[in-house]
Structure 1
Amino acid sequence: METKLTELDFDCKISKMDLMKVLKNEARSIHILDIMKASNFLRDDAKFMPTKERDDYITRFTRAFFTRIKDIKDDQLKYSGDVNPGKLMEFLKVQYEQSKNSHNEDELCFHHIARVVSTYTTFIREESIHPVGTRFPGGFTLRYVNGLYMCPVKDKQKDTPSALCRFCVSVQDESVES
């Protein structure tokens, strides 16, 4: 049985429960110091944002990382079905490309945590990659309405090669002009 995302065999069927075991193992390897390093990267990455938006961005993502890692470790639910191995492979490939361009350990920690968390939300939980309430340029936020994740930037980002939007279950928020 594989214990890391890098060890998955995409030529075989991958059940959600098998992927969950791998994610639990990955989550156990993430420590509070790693989350602090990821938070440092967020702080540096957002240094040119307006103060209010920057502080909200850093707080929201640090909290989301911490909460989601804990969720993964504690998750005892049984998930039925398989994941699409081709889609998962493409998803992870995009993230590994971003990760290998990391400039320092803080950024590397950010990418590792983001990979584990976003794989969990996308392929296990089938939830939006970004947490509900995430603010985007223009003051728009990701919302959850009537069972749908409504993203204000989905249509603008879904064809961006480095973006994970094309894998996300959210739909374009039609109340926001695209």
Structure 2
Amino acid sequence: MVEKLEDLDFEERINKNELLKILKKEARSIHIQDIMKASNFLMEDAKFMPSPERNDYIARFTKAFFTRIKDIKDDQSEYSGDVNPEKLREFLKVQDEQAQNSHNKDELCFHRIARLVSTYTTFIREESIHPVGTRFPGGFTLRYVNGVYLCPVKDKQKDTPSALCRFCVSVQDKIID
């Protein structure tokens, strides 16, 4: 059995439940110190944001990391179907490139946790990568309405090579268009 995301064979069928087992194993290796390092990176990354947005950004993502790591560890659901191996390969490649460009251990921890959490939300849960309520410039937020994730920046970011937007299940929020 595959133990790590790096060991996946993208030429074979990848079942959601098998992917979840790998994510659970990796989630068990995330400790509180790792989440604190990721939070330190968020603080540094957001230092030039206006104060209310910065504080919300740091709090929301730190809480999301705690919550999602716990969700992954505790998830006992059975998921039907397979993931698209090519899409997963590309998704992990983008994240690995970002992690390789980390400037310090805090940023590396951030990327490690973000990779795990976003893989879970995107490929297992089929939910938005960003947590509902995430605020974006201009005061716009990611919303969940009638079973659809509405993102205010989807169309503007989906072609950005380093952005994960093209993999996200959210759609452009037409109110903001």
TM-score, normalisation: structure 2: 0.99
Aligned to 1:46: 46
Aligned to 1:140: 140
Aligned to 2:37: 37
- Deviation digits for residues 92-135 of structure 1 (CA, Å, limit 9, x no counterpart): 00000000000000000000000000000000000000000000
Structure 1 CA distance for aligned equivalents of residues 102 and 9 of structure 2? 25
Letter in 2 for 1:91: F
- Counting only pairs closer than 5 Å after superposition, residues 1-178 of structure 1 correspond to structure 2 as 1-177=1-177
Structure 2 CA distance for aligned equivalents of residues 12 and 168 of structure 1? 23
Q: Gaps spanning 5+ residues in structure 1: where?
A: none
RMSD after superposition: 0.4
Structure 2 CA distance for aligned equivalents of residues 18 and 76 of structure 1? 12
Structure 1 CA distance for aligned equivalents of residues 52 and 144 of structure 2? 23
Structure 1 CA distance for aligned equivalents of residues 9 and 38 of structure 2? 28
Deviation at 1:3, TM superposition (A): 1.1
Structure 1 CA distance for aligned equivalents of residues 43 and 18 of structure 2? 34
Letter in 2 for 1:11: E
Structure 1 CA distance for aligned equivalents of residues 135 and 160 of structure 2? 19
Deviation at 1:29, TM superposition (A): 0.4
Could you say what secondary structure the match of 2:150 adopts?
A: strand
Structure 2 CA distance for aligned equivalents of residues 11 and 18 of structure 1? 15
Structure 2 CA distance for aligned equivalents of residues 44 and 156 of structure 1? 25
Could you say what secondary structure the match of 2:176 adopts?
A: coil
Runs of 4+ in 1 over 4 A off after TM superposition: none
Number of equivalenced pairs: 177
Structure 1 CA distance for aligned equivalents of residues 76 and 18 of structure 2? 13
Structure 1 CA distance for aligned equivalents of residues 7 and 29 of structure 2? 15
Deviation at 1:78, TM superposition (A): 0.2
Letter in 2 for 1:169: V
Structure 1 CA distance for aligned equivalents of residues 121 and 46 of structure 2? 24
Deviation at 1:41, TM superposition (A): 0.1
Could you say what secondary structure the match of 1:120 adopts?
A: helix
Could you say what secondary structure the match of 2:127 adopts?
A: coil
Q: Gaps spanning 5+ residues in structure 2: where?
A: none
% same residue: 79
- Deviation digits for residues 132-177 of structure 1 (CA, Å, limit 9, x no counterpart): 0000000000000000000000000001000000000000000002
